[in-house]
Amino acid sequence: MDGAEAREPPSARGRDHGVAWRSGLSLSDRLGLALQSFRRENHGNDEQHFDTCTGPHSADDVLSDRGSDDGDIVWHEHGSGGDAALMKAVSDDAAEQATFQVLTRALDKLLGPIRFLLEDPSVSEILINGTSDIFVERRGKLERADTRFASREDLESAARSIAQFSGKRLTPEEPSVEARLPDGSRVQMIQPPAARTGLCISIRRFLKEHRSIRDLVTQGSLTEESLTLLQAAVGLQKNVIISGGTGTGKTTMLNALSEAFADHERIIVIEDTSELQIRKEHVVYLEVTKPDRFGRGGASIRDLFRSSLRMRPDRIIVGECRGGEALDMIQAMTSGHSGSLSTVHANTPYDALHRLETLALMSDIDMPLRPLRAQIASAVDVVVQIARFKRTGRRRVIEISEIKGLNEDGQYIVESIYKLEGDGHSNSDGALLWTGVVPSFAADAVEELQGAERSEWMKTEAATRETA
């Protein structure tokens, strides 16, 4: 991680895919948390040197000199800790920048034992199970890291500062916190009593290098022919669901498929925690916010999705469907908002559709199963199934299927167009083969991809048209 002096908060430079900075708390609270981290960095964990953000000598006390959270702010030397003056009277924006840099500097120091892992481009995940059990994932495989935190207090200080950077608190009353690091890496933290073995921190690295769809072909995740199919599906505004387990590369695939969007399209991205990097000109990023400690405010994925429908989207991307918003997405897909993309946790295309059923039933709308299935079958055009192979650590597309409605028994008709030979969930070196099924949109795809090298299914479609 770079030095704090080289960083700026997003308020100073707009959205940056490599920066995470949230304003979930009031400016008063964020200033208080920054002071707390500043003291922790300089005085360690000695409680006599720093106070909580709601106690005496907090930012609230400082702000009271000015009368309002919205006015100018003065940070001055106060308390027995002898904090040097951090700021003179400044605007909210300047206070935001200073707070960002104080928290970032504290994080740099407190995360010292794992800083070299955060700077290692080969590390995709860092898993901390207490002070000495630290593991990393490299190229899909877990291995123990040769590092540790000096004490439980040091680990807890690091965890609290991570939470504070995202405008949150990690407490016994709120033992589970989702947060981010300054570089955008996603963090999940759980502390006792919820974690019986002690404080656990999982860090999913934010990879700054964008993996293109061509990179996925080079790495063997896709074949040239299957790539052509996906480019056609996205270009023709088919609704695509990317299905897979945890850590299979669903977000990476979603990012890559977005390359097929037209440059003029307005894209709305909705995520629980911002990860996607859509390399297009007209992109709006919406992110879930939690209510403050008084239960005020907050916006769920469902709230954001409903808002996005009134924002003139050409494409809507939902980073991951996890709840009742699935029903809103399904209904939007069938009412003029085609070309949507999302991901779900499932192991097969059939499971992905049933997962959408379950999520849709979590909404506040009571819908019979048969009509719900009919809507899902009409909404979802293509399911891309991804798997991670434990033996080799490889992540690959193992099946691409088209959804063709319901049969007489009300079951989904799922036709595989490409499928990994043999047992797709164990044959990591197998070929992704065309099954002989021609997608229903093949004729339009031939027109859409004029000049592209034709896949077998395109040749079959062209031959059929010539015969006709």
In order along its 468 residues, the chain shows pLDDT tens digits of 443 333 444 433 334 433 344 444 454 455 555 555 555 555 444 443 333 333 333 333 333 333 334 333 333 334 434 444 444 434 555 666 666 676 677 777 888 999 999 989 889 899 999 999 999 998 878 999 999 999 999 999 899 888 888 878 888 888 999 888 888 888 999 999 899 888 999 999 876 666 788 999 998 899 999 999 999 999 999 999 999 998 899 999 999 999 999 999 999 999 988 888 899 999 999 998 888 777 788 898 999 999 999 999 999 999 999 999 999 999 999 888 899 999 999 999 999 999 999 999 998 888 899 999 999 999 999 999 999 988 888 899 999 999 999 999 999 999 999 999 876 556 667 889 999 999 999 988 888 777 666 778 877 776 766 665
The whole-number pLDDT of residue 8 equals: 41
CATH code of the domain containing 300:
3.40.50.300
The pLDDT score that the predictor gives to residue 87 is 46
Is there a single domain that holds both residue 182 and residue 55? no
Of 208, 238, 273, which residue is a domain's last? 208
Three-class secondary structure assignment of 319-347: CCCCCCHHHHHHHHHCCCCCCCEEEEECC
Radius of gyration of the chain (CA): 25
In the prediction, which pLDDT does 335 show? 85
**Entry field: residues in the chain:** 468
User: Quick one: pLDDT at residue 79?
Assistant: 41
Same domain for 63 and 174, yes or no, is no
Indicate if 202 and 79 belong to the same structural domain. Answer: no
Is residue 5 in some structural domain? no
Q: Tell me, yes or no, whether 348 and 201 share the same domain.
A: no
- Cα angle for residues 94, 100, 106 (degrees, 5° grid): 135
Does 103 reside within a domain?
Answer: yes
What's the pLDDT at 81? 41
Q: Is residue 467 part of a domain?
A: no
Tell whether 229 and 150 lie within a shared domain: no
Is residue 236 domain-shared with residue 93, that is, in the same domain?
A: no
Domain range for 65: 19-110
Write down the pLDDT at residue 423: 63
Task: Please indicate, yes or no, if residue 270 is contained in any of the structural domains.
Answer: yes
**Cα separation of 422 and 465, whole Å?**
32
Residue pair 195/120 in contact (Cβ under 8 Å)? The answer is no
* 192 and 221, same domain (yes or no): no
Q: Are residues 151 and 194 in the same domain?
A: yes
Give the full edge-to-edge strand order of the sheet including 412-420: 283-287, 267-271, 315-318, 341-345, 240-244, 382-388, 395-406, 412-420, 432-434
**Domain match, 169 and 185 both:** yes
Same domain? For 238 and 324 the reply is yes
Q: Which pLDDT score, from 0 to 100, does residue 30 have?
A: 54
Classify residue 13: in a domain, yes or no: no
Q: In sequence order, which residues have a C-beta less than 8 Å from that of residue 98 and are 6 or more positions away?
A: 34, 75, 86, 87, 90
Same domain, 84 and 187: no
Residue 8 within any structural domain of the chain = no
Structural domain total, the chain: 3
The answer to whether residue 200 is domain-embedded is yes
Q: What are the two backbone dihedrals, phi and then psi, of residue 268, each rounded to the nearest 5 degrees?
A: -105, 125
Pair (179, 67) in one structural domain: no
User: Would you say residue 9 lies in a domain?
Assistant: no
Last residue of one domain, picked from the residues 79, 110, 141: 110
Using DSSP, state whether 72 is helix, strand or coil. Answer: coil
Looking up residue 181, the CATH number of its domain turns out to be 3.30.450.370
